[in-house]
Amino acid sequence: MFEMAQTRGDEIRALQDRIHGMQRTRLDDRRLPTSSALSELLPGGALAAGASYVIEGSTALALELLREPSRAGSWCAIVGMPDLGVEAAAAAGIELERLVLVPHPAEQWFAVVSALIDAVAVVLVRPPTGKRVGEAAATRLAARLRQREAVLVATGDWPRAQARLTVPESDWAGIGAGFGHLAARQLTVAASSPAWQGRTRSRRLWLPDARGAVSPVAAREVVVREVVREVERAAGRASRHAAVG
């Protein structure tokens, strides 16, 4: 793992040389390995080399996109996320020896992202609050992504994204009647893409499940969840009725 507080040309070039020398895998058919739980939510069923993606509402979901490329031997970078430490990256299954962290890029964040695209396979970036990425800048960076066959994942708005994944619903499991601890979380992940001509896809996932992994929620579990919610709603209505009476 490397931490860079600011952009220095010689340090970036040295990093690029080292990563290129250590990179163990080549991109196959211009695609990167993808979690099977997320493949149905991505155009072509995988991360396309040279493309950008937007993740909204879940840092864990963004890290999941880095996990399989990292395990396959690709280098990854995380830019502008100082609240995300090495423990969280390791828990997400990212190989720390092939991870570059730039927690505080400050005003140089776009230049840092551009430089890292020359060196690593996947860059996860959180654009600074209030900083909008313009079409011209996104176009230049898209050309760089295609040239280097890299992937960009943004946790904020990003023009020309190949797909946008959002989390409209999230529920934690493990809490009992005033006791217990958070053991697992279910997410509804909705995906949209220009390639789907206005159609959207959604999937219910455990992220994480009781083992700390990512897995689809079985249809039976979805039904049980809806029944439990209906029971809770009915109990709430009965309680309100009793209070009024």
pLDDT band at 160 (very low <50, low <70, confident <90, very high): confident
Question: Which pLDDT score, from 0 to 100, does residue 22 have?
Answer: 56
Condensed to tens digits (0 to 9), the pLDDT of residues 13-35 reads: 666 666 655 554 444 457 898 98
Q: Are residues 150 and 173 in the same domain?
A: no
Using alpha carbons, list the distances in angstroms from residue 77 to 20, 130, 136: 14, 22, 23
Domain end (from 144, 163, 182): 163
Distance CA 102, CA 191 (A): 28
What CATH number did the domain enclosing 142 receive? 3.40.50.300
Question: Which pLDDT score, from 0 to 100, does residue 170 have?
Answer: 82
Q: For 47-51, 99-103, 130-134, 239-243, which range has the lowest pLDDT when averaged over its residues?
A: 239-243
Q: Are residues 156 and 189 in the same domain?
A: no
Look at 172 and 146; give whichever has higher pLDDT.
146
Q: Are residues 122 and 85 in the same domain?
A: yes
Flag whether pLDDT at 231 surpasses 50.
Answer: no
Domain end (from 139, 163, 187): 163
pLDDT band at 207 (very low <50, low <70, confident <90, very high): confident
Flag whether pLDDT at 144 surpasses 90.
Answer: yes
Whole-number average pLDDT of the chain? 81
Q: What is the pLDDT averaged over residues 204-219? A: 80
Q: What is the pLDDT averaged over residues 174-189? A: 64
Q: For 32-46, 132-146, 229-243, which range has the lowest pLDDT when averaged over its residues?
A: 229-243
Q: How many structural domains comprise the chain?
A: 2
Q: For 21-25, 130-134, 232-236, which range has the lowest pLDDT when averaged over its residues?
A: 21-25
**Contact, 80 vs 105, CB < 8 A?**
yes
Whether the link from the prior residue into 105 is cis, omega within 30° of 0, is no
Q: Are residues 53 and 10 in the same domain?
A: yes
Question: Which pLDDT score, from 0 to 100, does residue 107 have?
Answer: 86
Look at 8 and 228; give whichever has higher pLDDT.
8
Q: Are residues 132 and 197 in the same domain?
A: no
Q: Are residues 169 and 212 in the same domain?
A: yes
Flag whether pLDDT at 46 surpasses 80.
Answer: yes
Condensed to tens digits (0 to 9), the pLDDT of residues 58-87 reads: 999 999 999 999 999 999 999 999 999 899
Question: Which pLDDT score, from 0 to 100, does residue 30 have?
Answer: 78
Q: Are residues 118 and 144 in the same domain?
A: yes
Q: What are phi and psi of 174, to 5 degrees?
A: 120, -20
Token pair 């995300």 is found at: 84
Contacts of 20-27 spanning 24+ positions with Cβ under 8 A: 20/119, 22/75, 22/98, 23/73, 23/74, 23/75, 23/121, 24/73, 25/72, 25/73, 25/74, 27/121, 27/149
* 81: containing domain: 2-163
Query: 200 - beta bridge partners?
Result: 192
Q: What is the pLDDT averaged over residues 116-136? A: 90
Q: Are residues 140 and 30 in the same domain?
A: yes
Q: Are residues 21 and 138 in the same domain?
A: yes
pLDDT-above-90 percentage for the chain: 51
pLDDT band at 234 (very low <50, low <70, confident <90, very high): low
